[in-house]
Structure 1
């Protein structure tokens, strides 16, 4: 049997006592792996200067337009697809007259925004350019109208004493 050597000093004992939770304290453990991203304090990858769309995002909206319809997905910066939906899904296509007309894009925008909000995604980076009156433009407009923010908030960076501008901490509740 191997005994673990414990230092015999007062400082070590004081540190061990401080680690014990208080008897009447309430502790909560958040198991959401993207909690730091939601609080805006996680590291955001900056990417390289010459990257065309850039990689300065946590979640990005990816649209793929085909002859059969539209596929929209939310991609995490690690390359993993977080959420994906298409007008070709059976549950959607049975309610659409055509999966590639203007009404389908508008209704698909509403459905996709709702699915994002239900999954806990409230803001995504959008690098897709679409004219205002086009089908993709209406799809993107419906995403905004239904509560999905198409730009991500800036990352909270620690301020230094010499800085005059200090960002509001995202986890603090602001009284307006």
Structure 2
């Protein structure tokens, strides 16, 4: 029985019970007179099975990042000529000022997932300089550990060729990778269209497919 039809069915049976069951001429008896006022109503209210009362109309997802980890969640594409690249789920941002170094992971919706900064005394007390290569390496290890704690294993890091030529940036990227964070997100899973030619559409492996390693 569909959810939400019981009140309508109960109302219909109540109206039907106050009308004639065999016609309106003489000798007719109403449904209420034959079986009592609440016999059919009680039958409708009786659970039809042990799980009838356990069915919930609303389900709350306690892991909103589950679809993104399966590569089927919404991923914004942005526009081609935008200044900022928006095609990501979680982006790792690095901000180096004259006094401090900050790193944070931002979700595409604008929510800050986690962050780390040399302004924290637990990090600052181990550093001689808060903007050198050692400071960037320390921030990278802390932000990577916090990403793993919140369940993020892939981040998008936008770097230019000039940034990769700097030693401290290379140490930052290497430290993030050593902690188990992949600098680069996988592509979103696209279902194969049956009306598209196979050579025009590359078939991808489904995220929930278990691949056995060949011995």
TM-score range, shorter chain: 0.7 to 0.9
CA distance in 2, matches of 1:72, 1:108: 7
1:144 to 167, 174, 177: 177
1:94 to 125, 138, 144: 125
Q: Name the structure 2 match of 1:167.
A: 204
CA distance in 2, matches of 1:137, 1:146: 14
Alignment of 1:78-157 (within 5 A): 78-129=109-160, 130-157=163-190
CA distance in 2, matches of 1:173, 1:30: 24
Partner secondary structure for residue 5 of structure 1:
helix
Please say if residues 91 and 155 of structure 2, whose CA atoms lie closer than 8 Å, have aligned partners that are also in contact: yes
* Structure 2 gap segments, 5+ residues each: 1-5, 13-47, 53-59
- TM-score, normalization by structure 1: 0.80
| 1:42-71 Cα distance to aligned partner (Å, 9 max, x none) | 121111121123211011111111111210
CA distance in 2, matches of 1:154, 1:138: 26
Please say if residues 60 and 76 of structure 1, whose CA atoms lie closer than 8 Å, have aligned partners that are also in contact: yes
Matched, 1:63 2:94: yes
* Structure 1 gap segments, 5+ residues each: 9-16, 22-28
Please say if residues 39 and 171 of structure 1, whose CA atoms lie closer than 8 Å, have aligned partners that are also in contact: yes
Offset of residue 113 of structure 1: 1.1
CA distance in 1, matches of 2:194, 2:112: 40
Partner secondary structure for residue 159 of structure 2:
coil
- TM-score, normalization by structure 2: 0.66
Tell which has more relative contact order, 1 or 2 (C-alpha 8 A, sep 6+).
Answer: 1
Partner secondary structure for residue 109 of structure 1:
helix
CA distance in 1, matches of 2:80, 2:188: 18
2:8 to 5, 18, 22: 5
